[in-house]
Structure 1
C-alpha cells in the first residue's frame, strides 16, 4: 500500500466519499475505517524518530605500521564514508592524564594530526580519541572514577589533546568497569568538563551488560552522546566447534540461552530494555572474523568439530582471527555459505573455516539499525576492509554500509 496524500489532505477529505457502496452498513464501515486511519496518522505525526545516520569508524592506528597490503595510513580513510573517526588508542598515565602509546606513529609520523586533517575533506566529520582498549588495564580508569583530582587531570588532559591535535571528543573504551558508581562518576565528570566546550563523550561497551557489573544504563544515557555496543566476539576459539563471530540473530540449532544472549539482536534489545535511548545506540559491525581448523575437512558446517584456532593472518597477526582484507586476499577460492537464520556467512576451504561478515550481512545489520531507530553503526575496524579489491570493489563493506544507510 502506498499513501501519496498528505495528512492534511486526508484530514480534509469528506469521509462519506471514502466508500461509495450503496448500503448504510457499507457507508458506516467506510466511516469507521476512515476514523481509524485518522487516529493512526495523528499518532505517528506526533512521534519523533531519530535518523539512523551515524557511521562511526574506528581506526586502529597501528595499521599504518603493517607491511605490504596490510598497510593502511590515515590518508587511506575515505572521510566521506564516515560520520565519526575514532583514533584507537591513547592510554592513561598513572596520574590519569592521557598518554601517547606509540610516539613514533602517533606524533613523529603525525598519525594524530593526519586523522584530524580529514576534516578538511569532510567538514562535517567528527574525530575522537579512543582511550583504553582490550589490552588496557582498569587501574587508571578506576583511579579517575574514584579520585576527583585525578578525574579533573584526565578531563583537562583530554581537552589539551583536543586543542593540540584538532579532535572533537573522547571515546572511553574501558573493558570492563565492575562498579556502576565508579563508572558513573568517571563519565559524569568528563561530561561536565567537556560540555561547556562542545566536546563529545562516547563509550564502547560490552554487548551483554549482564556479564559485567559496571553499567548503570539509564544514568549513562543521560550524559553520553553515543553508546557503541560491541556486538561481536560472541563465539571464538574456546568452544571446540565452528561458530559465528557476530550473528545478528540466534541460530535455529542453538540453545535458548545462546539465542537470548549470543547475538547482536539480543545485545541491542538488552541495552534498549535497560534504559538506553535508541538514538544514542550504535550497533557494532566487525570487519574481521574468527577462524578455526576443522577436525574433518568433510564436516564443514556450523557447530562442526575443530582442532583449534586458525593461524594468524600476516597483517593482523591474531591467532584465530583474520581481517576481512586477509579473508579476501588469501581465501578467495573458499566456499561461502550464508546463514539465513543468523544473517551472517561462513567460509570453508580445505580444513580452514571462518565465521565473518560480508556485504550481505552488513546490509542486514544496517537495516536492523534503521528498524530499531538506532543512531547508526560503528565499525571495528576500517583498516581491515578490502582496500585492494581482492573481493571486488575497494572498501566494499564500508561502501555497502553507506549505501544502505542512505537507502
Structure 2
C-alpha cells in the first residue's frame, strides 16, 4: 500500500511480551508554529461523506514494545470499514495466506471480524495485493475467465469462513485497462448475489499508469480508495511533504496539477468517477529526512539522506505517527496553511506528515467534494495507546470532523 510494507520482515520479527504501557509516557507533542500563506479557499457544501475506511496492517502484531498492535486494539466504533491487509494471490486464482500463524492459527481473521459484535454496522474486507506483491498473478487472473471464477469462489468461501463482507483489490499497478476491467467485472458479478463488497486502492497520479478505465471502474465498484500520499520520494535532496492537501504557493504549475490530494481527487472525478464512490487517503505516517544544516529546516531545504528507520515500522525514510510523536517531543511543528499539512524539525531530523489538524482538513475536503469519505493507511500507527496525546488521536479527529 505504501512504503511501510515489508511483510516478510514482520512475519519473522520477534514479538515482545512487555505491556503496552511499560514505557514512560512522554510529554505532550511539541509547540506549534503556523505559517499563514496564500491558502486555497473553498465553499463548504457538505455532502453524504460518512465512510471511515481503516486499513489494518496485520503484521503489526509482531512489532516490538509500544508498536505492537493486535486486533483487539482496534476501536470498532471509529471505523465504518476495516480492510485487513494483506492476502496474496496465486497465479491459478486462489488466495494466498501470507502469514498463516498470525492470520489463521492465532485467529487474526476471526478476531477482526468479531469486532462486528461490538459494532453491527461495521464492514470487514480482505485486502489482496499491496506494494510488495507481484503483478504477475493479477495479470494472469485478469486475462483468464476461468481463473477469475476460481478467485471469486475462493473469495466467497473465505468470506463465509471468516465472516468477511467483501474484497479490496490493491493491484500496484494494473498494466492494461481491459485486464483490470475483466478482473473487477468478473468479481462483481460473482459477489452481487451475496451482497459482498468490491473495492480498490488506486494510484493517486493515474496519468502515470495505463491500467484505469475510470468510468467502467466507477460503474462496477463500491468504493475507490485513492492513495493520496507518497507524492514525493525521500531521495530527492530536499525536504518534501508526504501528503499535501493542496499545492504550495512556491511550487511549479506541474506540481500543483499532480503532487497533492486535491489534484488526484479532481483527476478521478473529472475522469468519470462518482464522487460518492471515491475516498481520499489519510496517511498515518510521514516521510522523513536528515537535514544538511539544522539551522535550515524549512520546506524545500537541503536533505542529505532519508531518516533512519523507526523502532516499530523499521522503514528507511518514514516514521509512523506514533513514532514521530513519541521520539520527537522536543521538535517544532510548523503548519503550512497553503498545503494544509504540518512538518516537524528536531535538530537535523525533518518530517512531513499528517496530524489532527491536517486529518480534519481532509475530512472537510471530502465533505466539500461530496466524496464517500476517507480511508486511512494505516490505523496501527496512530497514537493508539495514548502515549503522547489522546488515545487514537488521529482517528478521533477524523470522526469528530465527520460528525460536524
Q: TM-score, normalised by structure 2?
A: 0.88
Which secondary structure does the structure 1 equivalent of 2:82 belong to? strand
**Offset at 1:49?**
8.3
The answer as to 2:150 corresponding to 1:153 is yes
User: Whose helix proportion is higher, 1 or 2?
Assistant: 1
The answer as to 2:387 corresponding to 1:386 is no
Aligned residues: 360
Unpaired segments ≥5 residues, structure 2: 1-44
1:36 maps to none
1:255 maps to 252
Cα distance change on mapping 1:384 and 1:49 into 2, 3 Å: closer
1:218 maps to 215
Which secondary structure does the structure 1 equivalent of 2:387 belong to? coil
2:332 maps to 335
Q: Give the whole-Å Cα distance in 2 for the aligned partners of 1:387 and 1:79.
A: 13
Which structure has more RCO (C-alpha within 8 Å, separation ≥ 6)? 2
CA RMSD of aligned residues (A): 1.0
Q: Work out which of the residue numbers 311, 322, 325 in structure 2 matches 1:325.
A: 322
Q: Give the whole-Å Cα distance in 2 for the aligned partners of 1:94 and 1:182.
A: 14
**Offset at 1:390?**
3.1
2:231 maps to 234
Which secondary structure does the structure 1 equivalent of 2:305 belong to? strand
1:67 maps to 64
Q: Work out which of the residue numbers 160, 181, 191 in structure 2 matches 1:194.
A: 191
Q: Give the whole-Å Cα distance in 1 for the aligned partners of 2:208 and 2:255.
A: 14
1:18 maps to none
Q: Give the whole-Å Cα distance in 2 for the aligned partners of 1:268 and 1:287.
A: 19
Q: Give the whole-Å Cα distance in 2 for the aligned partners of 1:52 and 1:247.
A: 20
2:263 maps to 266
2:11 maps to none
The answer as to 2:285 corresponding to 1:288 is yes
Q: Work out which of the residue numbers 306, 311, 315 in structure 2 matches 1:314.
A: 311
**Offset at 1:238?**
2.2
Contact 1:325–1:385 (CA under 8 A) maintained in structure 2: yes
Which secondary structure does the structure 2 equivalent of 1:192 belong to? helix
**Offset at 1:333?**
1.1
Q: Give the whole-Å Cα distance in 1 for the aligned partners of 2:127 and 2:329.
A: 33
Alpha-carbon displacement from aligned partner over 1:217-264 (angstroms, at most 9, x marks no partner): 000000100000000000131211000000000001111100110000
Alpha-carbon displacement from aligned partner over 1:49-106 (angstroms, at most 9, x marks no partner): 8510000000000011111100000000000000000000000112121110001110
Which secondary structure does the structure 1 equivalent of 2:235 belong to? helix
Which secondary structure does the structure 1 equivalent of 2:359 belong to? helix
Which secondary structure does the structure 2 equivalent of 1:267 belong to? helix
Alpha-carbon displacement from aligned partner over 1:298-317 (angstroms, at most 9, x marks no partner): 10000000111000001001
Alpha-carbon displacement from aligned partner over 1:13-62 (angstroms, at most 9, x marks no partner): xxxxxxxxxxxxxxxxxxxxxxxxxxxxxxxxxxx985100000000000
Q: Give the whole-Å Cα distance in 2 for the aligned partners of 1:163 and 1:354.
A: 43
Q: Give the whole-Å Cα distance in 1 for the aligned partners of 2:195 and 2:214.
A: 23
1:398 maps to 395
Aligned ranges for residues 362-381 of structure 1 at < 5 Å? 362-381=359-378
Q: Give the whole-Å Cα distance in 2 for the aligned partners of 1:344 and 1:391.
A: 19
Higher-Rg structure is 1
**Offset at 1:297?**
0.5
Contact 2:280–2:366 (CA under 8 A) maintained in structure 1: yes
Q: Give the whole-Å Cα distance in 1 for the aligned partners of 2:220 and 2:377.
A: 24
